Chains A and B, each alone.
Chain A
Amino acid sequence: MTDFKHIQTAHCENGVTVNLLQQQGLDFLTEPLAFGIGSGLFYIHIPFLKVNAGPAISFRSMPGAIFKRTCKVLDVKVERKKFKSKEVAQQFLDAKVDAGISVGCQVGVFHLNYFPKEYRFHFNAHNLIVFGRDGDDYLVSDPVMETTTRLSREAMEKVRFAKGALAPKGHIYYPVNVGEVTDEMIRKAIAKGINRNVRDMLRIPTKIAGVRGINYTASKVRKWRDQVGPRQGGLFLGQIVRMQEEIGTGGGGFRFLYAAFLEQASERLGNDKLIGISEQITKSGDLWRDSALQMAGIYKGRITEQKDFDHCADIMNEIAAVEKQAFQELSKIKLI
């Protein structure tokens, strides 16, 4: 396949979604639209669960949700497979690729040798596209990379059969049947994505998810200095910053990406009010960046007093208020 078009995006799952669906003729689909239609924006802080010995926080919805929701609402049939046998998994991949079909694969990044070593943790919800074979190499389009890349058969087997939480088990997926997608369908898909995101951010009845989750983390941040000391507390804050800003988020914990979605949604739906909400979400993204800057002061060891931890928490409370206001207003807008 020489005519494969690599598309670089902020986030891997958006990228795979956009690329595979564009190949099927859905040219309108951009990364922000896929993210918004799939209701990708979220916040959750899971207590009692530790990630790399730090707090377990996510700024986005469950892995896999964006692709699944976007395909479903656009009436795209998807074929998925997981495998017990590594041999069968490889044969299946070879057969698809040799038939000229690009496929999405879920992989672990620990053995993903084209990533910098510093980024290779046991994280198993990364996604990439395999679009061809060349000798013993697979041709790979990883949406977070600037160009296409390659993986040997051995390396591919390792990343597809990584172990631990969310183990991919050779998970492979690709669209098989795409019907006609009308403007009306796109508008409905956007409205549905927004409504589901309003629900996720405002109406999940728990204090750990949505805008209340942000306040929950803020209340923890106030206590960390006393509970674990400034050094460990700083490491916890560093973990928040990494979840929020690391490669894949588009900056500001996916908030800028969502603001871009609302801007495109406003054009698609012909509704100017969405621009106002987009600006509020941009403000939230900017505040997340401010908060990261403040947190960095602590984990660099420059400012380590209780008032400095409190300042971080104060910004997070402000973010929660901004996002609450934005999503409440969004819930009142008549979309279609």
Chain B
Amino acid sequence: MKKEELPQDKSALDNFTREVCYVKNKDGKYVTDLSEGWEVKSVALDNAWEEIERRTEEAKQKVLNGEASPVLYFLELKLMDLPVLAGYTGFMRWQIKRHMKPSVFKKLSTKKLQNYADVFEVSLEDFKNFNV
């Protein structure tokens, strides 16, 4: 890539930083230059976020319809997967899967619920009663 071809498209990096890229100068030598972003990858990042929002909304509906517990919703909201949530809560993956069932969730102890609420950074009440 030539120095003059380096894209300077506004992106999520705006007001945070610019990134170092390796480009060729007029003499054909490599130099570094700073880029504000590239539209091609901004769109990829935007799409990834839209997909996260779609999955979170889908999880929300499932909880409201009584098909899943709030654990599923907050897992999606916080961009987690089972290994990540297992790491933060100390629960096993299969336990978390069980906790996603509304029937099991209803019977969870306050201690376990508090554990989840802390990890999801919500109050115990909002977590338990799904006030979102």
Counting chain A residues whose Cβ lies within 8 A of the other chain, the interface size class is 35 or more
B124 at the interface (CB under 8 A from A): no
A119 at interface, CB cutoff 8 A: yes
Contact partner of B43 among A10, A167, A286, A296, CB < 8 A?
A: A296
Min C-beta distance of B16 to chain A, whole Å: 5
CA distance A260 to B30 in the complex (A): 6
Q: If the complex has contacts A146-B17, A165-B83, A296-B44, are A250 and B22 also in contact, measured as CB distance less than 8 A?
A: yes
User: Contact at B12–A286, with CB atoms within 8 Å?
Assistant: no
Nearest neighbor of A238 in chain B, beta-carbon distance? B44
Question: Interface residues of B, CB < 8 Å — how many?
Answer: 37
Choose among A144, A164, A241, A250 the residue that contacts B41 (Cβ–Cβ < 8 A). Answer: A241
Residues in A neighbouring B38, C-beta threshold 8 A: 245
Cα–Cα, bound, A167→B86 (Å):
12
Is B21 in the interface zone, CB < 8 Å from A? yes
Within the complex, the shortest CB–CB distance from A289 to chain B, in Å, comes to: 7
- What residue of chain A has the Cβ atom nearest to residue B13's Cβ? A116
Who on chain B is nearest to A259 by CB? B30
Q: Quick one: given A146-B34, A235-B47, A241-B40, are A8 and B83 in contact (CB under 8 Å)? A: no
- A232 → chain B, closest Cβ, in Å? 9
Shortest Cβ distance from residue B21 to the other chain A in the assembled complex, whole angstroms: 5
Interface SS of B by simple majority: mixed
Which of B17, B35, B51, B84 contacts A164 (CB under 8 A)?
A: B84
In whole angstroms, how far apart are the Cα atoms of A251 and B21 in the complex? 6
Which A residues are in CB contact (< 8 Å) with B81? 122, 164
Given A246-B41, A299-B44: A285 in contact with B1 (beta carbons within 8 A): yes
Complex CA distance for A234 and B49, rounded to whole angstroms: 14
For B46, give the chain A residue with the smallest CB separation: A118
Task: Kindly list chain A residues whose C-beta atoms are within 8 Å of the C-beta of B86.
Answer: 163
Asked if A300 is at the interface (CB within 8 A of a chain B CB), the reply is yes
Q: From B1, B12, B32, B51, give the contact of A235 (CB < 8 A).
A: B51
Instruction: Determine if B92 is an interface residue (Cβ-Cβ < 8 Å).
Output: no
Does A114 touch B at the CB level, under 8 Å? Answer: yes
Smallest Cβ-Cβ distance to B6: which chain A residue: A251
In the complex, the answer to whether A300 meets B1 with C-beta atoms within 8 Å is no
A109-158: which residues lie under 8 A (CB-CB) from chain B? Answer: 110, 114-119, 121-122, 144-146
Interface string of B1-20 (1 = CB under 8 A from A): 10000100000110011111
Does A239 sit within 8 A of B, measured CB to CB? yes
A301 to chain B minimum Cβ distance, whole angstroms, is 10
Residue B45 at the A interface, CB < 8 A? yes
On whether the beta carbons of A299 and B29 are closer than 8 Å, the reply is no
The reply to whether B44 and A259 contact each other, CB–CB distance below 8 Å, is no
The one of B23, B41, B49 that contacts A256, using a Cβ cutoff of 8 Å: B23
Q: Mark A254-294, 1 if CB is under 8 A from B, else 0.
A: 00110110010000000000000000001001100100110
Name B20's closest neighbour in chain A (CB-CB). A10
Contact of A252 among B1, B13, B29, B83 (CB under 8 A): B1
- 11 pairs of residues in contact across A and B, judged by CB atoms under 8 Å: A118-B45, A118-B49, A121-B79, A122-B79, A241-B40, A248-B19, A251-B35, A256-B21, A256-B23, A292-B41, A299-B44
Contacts beyond the supplied A165-B84, A235-B51, A251-B6: 19 A-B pairs with Cβ under 8 Å: A8-B20, A52-B79, A53-B51, A114-B16, A122-B80, A144-B19, A145-B17, A163-B88, A237-B44, A239-B44, A241-B41, A242-B41, A245-B38, A251-B21, A256-B21, A260-B30, A292-B40, A293-B40, A296-B39
The 10 closest A-B pairs by CB, nearest first: A163-B87, A238-B44, A164-B84, A260-B30, A118-B12, A256-B22, A10-B20, A296-B40, A250-B22, A251-B21
